[in-house]
Each structure stands twice: as structure tokens, then as C-alpha cells.
């Protein structure tokens, strides 16, 4: 029998289970293949005892509608930069990729399907370069991978954010308030931008366009002076004022600063600058990452899963599945991880948002 291994890495995302189910269903049509799953990304391979399970029909039945991942995940398990806690409580990062490669070679998998974002696909590339038959499946609610037009999970996150935004509009209007809603988006403001357009925000703040607090105040004052006594702002967690940095703090064992709190910082800045209205803040957080994927995301995730297994059948390793120009295809992992997908401030999306009267605070 030939053996494929699937794992999910990085932050979870609605649609991961639909990918696992699709890979299993396609693999089942090949009598000489079986599918295994590593628990918590590559930690399942590295840990003693190993945590690798056989994927069965019972395990995947009906999981395409569920959020999260039945294989669990972690964003603190990068084998290229693995966090190790020392006896004094400090954490150091070690390259464990050689140990991982040795273990994977001993396990003799014929294909390894790594479902994950930018960081996970860099791991796929590093392992492929060391001789492991890797295939990548892109995953990010942030839509920050440039090799694919879209990833599953993004649309679900935008829908959750838009539903929440709509609720905040009615309460902003009743109280004549300024409502700030913080959404995810570490380096790219896609969720904020789509939510602002879908929800009809007055102001949208994204990492790619640093804001000027005076411009935001002007916009708020205009709204109130025209008798529209409320304002709804969407801000991406990675947004920041001109000349300042993102708001957040380091977390033990994590390679990244944990972003959180720009909504409160902006609120304080507005109050300090003499904002005429009362301001309230909402941080949406992980609600955007949980729950049932939209039908669109289930479809995309299922297409990605089937394609990933077909790449394995064809022996096309070192590739990441993509969705470009309405076609499911693949690109070399090197291309997949080369560029980050930032919002282009000269793009039609941003121009259209401005055309709708949305201010970016610039
Ligand atoms: O990368 C996806 C993302 O949702 C970012 O937008 C956010 O900064 C991060 O994950 C939060 O991750 P965690 O689960 O570690 O809080």
C-alpha cells in the first residue's frame, strides 16, 4: 500500500475539515492508497509517542460543515524554529527540521499534504528541499497568500465580520456613537476592506495605509455636522498611525507578536484629540476563525483537497494547490511563498471603496 499523510498547521480556519474529507474521499477511490493524519501539525510526528492516526470513513463523515480541524493545529510548532522551554522558563528556538526529516523518511510516506498558510508553506518548501514528497494546500482567513486568488476561510471570516458590523450599525445609530470594530488582519487588511464595503463603513483602517488621526476626526465631524449622528469604523488588528507601529505584545513560545487592541488605542486617540461623540470598541477576535464554513468555502476547500491528492497521484511534489482565474491549478512551493499578498492601495478595490465614500484615514 502507498501511504499519504495530511496535517493542518498554523491558526485554524473554517474549511480545514472539508479539505481533510476531500483528500480522504479522493484517496479512497485508489485501491492502493491509504491516508494518515498527524495530530497538531508536525508535532504528531516529532512527539514521543508519535501521534499519527489512520483516517477512516467514520472520522470524516459530515466534517465538511464543521469549523476547526479534527487533526488539531498549532502556531507554535514550526520545526524550522521550534520553541523549547529552558529550566529557567526562558524559551529558545531550535531548528528541528533534520530530526523531522529523519522521522518522516523512516515512516516512508509517499506523499505529505500540508494544509497551512505562509509559514506552513515555508516549512513545506524546506522539507521538500530535503527530499520529502510535499504538497501544499493554502489556508488563511487573512487572504495573504499571493499565489492564489483566494483561500477558503476568508469568505467565512468576512461574513462573520459583516454580520457583526451590521449589528453595531443599529446600536451606533440609536446612541449617536462612534463604533470601532477590530477585525483580524496581521499584515494585510483584506477582511477589514471587504467588511467595510459590505457593511457600509464610514472609515476603514488597514495596515497598508497608515492613518492620520486628524483625518479621521475630520471625517467624524463632517458626519455629525451633516446630521448623520453616528459613525462605524472597521480597523484591522495590524493597522497603525503614520509613524507608529502595531499594537500588541509578545507571547511565550510564539515567533510573532500577538496583535490586539488597536480598537482601544484608536478610541483613546480620538478622545484625546477631542472627538465630539461617545466612542465604543468591539474586538471580534477568534469568532472570525470559528464555526461553520460558508458554502463557497466548503466548495473551495473540497476542490483543494481533491486536487492535492491528484498531485500526489501524478507524483507532482513541491507544489501548492492554487485557485487562479477560476481554475484550480498549482505552483511550485518556492513561488507560493515568494510574495506576500498585501492590499494594493492603488487597486480598484480601494478606489471603489473611496468611490463609496469610505475614508482610509489618509
Ligand atoms: O494569521 C491568521 C490570524 O488570524 C491573524 O489575523 C491573527 O493575528 C492571528 O491569526 C491570531 O492567531 P492566534 O490564534 O495565535 O491568536
Whether the pLDDT of residue 285 is over 90: the answer is: yes
Task: Name the residue at shortest CA distance from atom 16 of ligand 1.
Answer: 258
Whether the pLDDT of residue 224 is over 80: the answer is: yes
Q: Does residue 231 line the site of ligand 1, with CB under 6 A?
A: no
- Could you tell me if 6 and 55 are in contact, meaning their C-beta atoms sit under 8 angstroms apart? yes
Task: Tell me the pLDDT band of 155, cut-offs 50, 70 and 90.
Answer: very high
pLDDT of residue 14: 98
Mean pLDDT of the region 146-173: 97
Which CATH number does 157-289 carry? 3.40.50.460
Which atom of ligand 1 has the smallest separation from the CA of 259?
8
pLDDT of residue 227: 82
Which atom of ligand 1 has the smallest separation from the CA of 185?
6
- Give the list of residues 6+ apart from residue 88 with CB closer than 8 angstroms, or none: none
Which atom of ligand 1 has the smallest separation from the CA of 11?
14
Whether the pLDDT of residue 199 is over 90: the answer is: yes
Whether the pLDDT of residue 210 is over 90: the answer is: yes
Mean pLDDT of the region 120-138: 97
Q: Does residue 141 line the site of ligand 1, with CB under 6 A?
A: yes
pLDDT of residue 45: 96
pLDDT of residue 226: 85
- Could you tell me if 65 and 292 are in contact, meaning their C-beta atoms sit under 8 angstroms apart? yes
- Residue written as grid cell 480598484: 348
321 CA → ligand 1 middle, Å = 22
Q: Does residue 184 line the site of ligand 1, with CB under 6 A?
A: yes
Closest CA to 10 of 183, 195, 134, 153: 153
Q: Mapping DSSP to helix (H, G, I), strand (E, B) and coil, where does residue 69 land?
A: coil
Mean pLDDT of the region 198-210: 98
Mean pLDDT of the region 160-175: 98
Q: Report which of residues 307 and 247 the model is more confident about.
A: 307
11 CA → ligand 1 middle, Å = 6
Chain centre distance of CA 11: 7
Q: Does residue 259 line the site of ligand 1, with CB under 6 A?
A: yes
Q: Does residue 11 line the site of ligand 1, with CB under 6 A?
A: yes
- Bridge partners of residue 12, in order along the sequence: none
Whether the pLDDT of residue 343 is over 90: the answer is: yes
Topology of domain 2-152+293-336, per CATH? Answer: Rossmann fold (3.40.50)
Closest CA to 11 of 255, 219, 336: 255
Task: Name the residue at shortest CA distance from atom 13 of ligand 1.
Answer: 11
pLDDT of residue 253: 75
The model's pTM? 0.95
Closest CA to 333 of 321, 350, 344: 321
pLDDT of residue 110: 98
**What H or E segment, with its residue span, contains residue 188?**
none
pLDDT of residue 75: 87
Distance CA 145, CA 117 (A): 7
Task: Tell me the pLDDT band of 331, cut-offs 50, 70 and 90.
Answer: very high
pLDDT of residue 251: 78
pLDDT of residue 184: 97
Which atom of ligand 1 has the smallest separation from the CA of 288?
4
Percent of the chain having pLDDT more than 90? 89
Task: Name the residue at shortest CA distance from atom 12 of ligand 1.
Answer: 11
pLDDT of residue 74: 93
Whether the pLDDT of residue 252 is over 90: the answer is: no
Mean predicted lDDT score pLDDT of the chain: 96
pLDDT of residue 350: 98
pLDDT of residue 173: 97
Which residue is catalytic, options 95, 98, 129, 142? 142
Mean pLDDT of the region 280-284: 98
Domain ranges of the chain: 2-152+293-336, 157-289
248 CA → ligand 1 middle, Å = 12
Q: What is the pLDDT of residues 228-246, one digit of tens each?
A: 799 999 999 999 999 998 9
42 CA → ligand 1 middle, Å = 19
Q: Are 2-152+293-336 and 157-289 equal in CATH topology?
A: yes
pLDDT of residue 12: 96
Q: What is the pLDDT of residues 308-322, one digit of tens each?
A: 999 999 999 999 999
pLDDT of residue 298: 98
DSSP state of 287: G
Q: Does residue 139 line the site of ligand 1, with CB under 6 A?
A: no
Which atom of ligand 1 has the smallest separation from the CA of 10?
1
User: Is the alpha carbon torsion for 155, 158, 164, 165 positive or negative?
Assistant: negative
184 CA → ligand 1 middle, Å = 7
| Catalytic (active site) residue 163 | no
119 CA → ligand 1 middle, Å = 12
Q: What is the pLDDT of residues 11-53, one digit of tens each?
A: 999 999 999 999 999 999 999 999 999 999 999 999 999 999 9
- Could you tell me if 155 and 296 are in contact, meaning their C-beta atoms sit under 8 angstroms apart? yes
Mean pLDDT of the region 65-70: 98
Which atom of ligand 1 has the smallest separation from the CA of 12?
14
Q: What is the pLDDT of residues 212-223, one digit of tens each?
A: 999 999 999 999
Q: Does residue 186 line the site of ligand 1, with CB under 6 A?
A: yes
Task: Tell me the pLDDT band of 83, cut-offs 50, 70 and 90.
Answer: confident
pLDDT of residue 276: 83
Task: Name the residue at shortest CA distance from atom 10 of ligand 1.
Answer: 11
Amino acid at each position: 500500500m502507498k501511504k499519504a499523510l495530511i496535517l493542518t498547521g498554523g491558526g485554524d480556519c473554517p474549511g480545514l475539515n472539508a479539505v481533510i474529507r476531500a483528500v480522504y474521499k479522493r484517496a479512497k477511490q485508489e485501491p492502493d492508497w491509504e491516508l494518515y493524519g498527524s495530530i497538531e501539525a508536525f508535532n504528531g510526528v516529532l512527539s514521543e509517542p508519535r501521534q499519527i492516526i489512520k483516517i477512516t470513513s467514520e472520522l470524516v463523515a459530515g466534517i465538511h460543515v464543521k469549523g476547526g480541524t479534527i487533526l488539531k493545529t498549532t502556531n507554535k510548532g514550526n520545526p524550522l524554529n521550534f520553541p523549547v522551554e529552558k529550566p529557567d522558563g526562558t524559551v529558545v528556538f531550535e531548528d528541528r527540521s533534520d530530526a523531522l526529516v529523519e522521522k518522516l523518511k523512516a515512516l516512508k510516506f509517499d506523499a505529505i499534504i500540508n494544509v497551512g498558510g505562509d509559514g506552513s508553506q515555508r516549512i513545506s518548501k524546506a522539507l521538500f528541499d530535503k527530499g520529502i514528497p510535499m504538497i501544499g494546500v493554502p489556508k488563511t482567513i487573512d487572504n495573504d497568500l499571493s499565489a492564489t486568488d483566494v483561500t477558503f476561510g476568508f469568505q467565512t471570516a468576512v461574513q462573520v465580520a459583516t454580520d457583526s458590523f451590521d449589528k453595531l450599525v443599529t446600536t451606533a445609530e440609536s446612541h449617536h456613537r462612534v463604533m470601532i470594530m477590530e477585525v483580524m488582519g496581521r499584515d494585510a487588511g483584506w477582511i477589514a476592506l471587504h467588511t467595510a464595503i459590505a457593511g457600509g463603513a464610514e472609515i476603514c483602517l488597514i495596515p497598508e495605509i497608515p492613518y492620520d488621526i486628524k483625518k479621521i476626526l475630520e471625517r467624524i465631524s463632517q458626519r455629525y455636522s451633516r446630521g448623520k449622528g453616528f459613525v462605524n469604523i472597521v480597523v484591522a488588528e495590524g493597522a497603525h498611525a503614520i509613524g507608529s507601529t502595531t499594537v500588541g505584545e509578545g507571547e511565550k513560545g510564539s515567533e510573532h507578536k500577538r496583535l490586539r487592541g488597536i480598537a482601544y488605542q484608536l478610541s483613546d486617540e480620538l478622545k484625546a484629540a477631542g472627538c465630539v461623540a461617545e466612542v465604543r470598541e468591539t474586538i471580534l477576535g477568534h469568532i472570525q476563525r470559528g464555526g461553520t464554513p460558508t458554502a463557497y468555502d466548503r466548495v473551495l476547500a473540497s476542490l483543494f483537497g481533491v486536487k492535492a491528492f491528484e498531485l500526489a497521484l501524478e507524483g507532482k511534489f513541491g507544489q501548492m494547490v492554487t485557485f487562479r482565474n477560476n481554475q484550480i491549478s498549482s505552483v511550485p512551493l518556492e513561488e507560493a511563498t515568494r510574495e506576500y499578498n498585501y492590499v494594493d492601495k492603488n487597486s480598484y478595490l480601494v478606489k471603489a471603496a473611496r468611490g463609496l465614500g469610505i475614508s482610509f484615514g489618509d
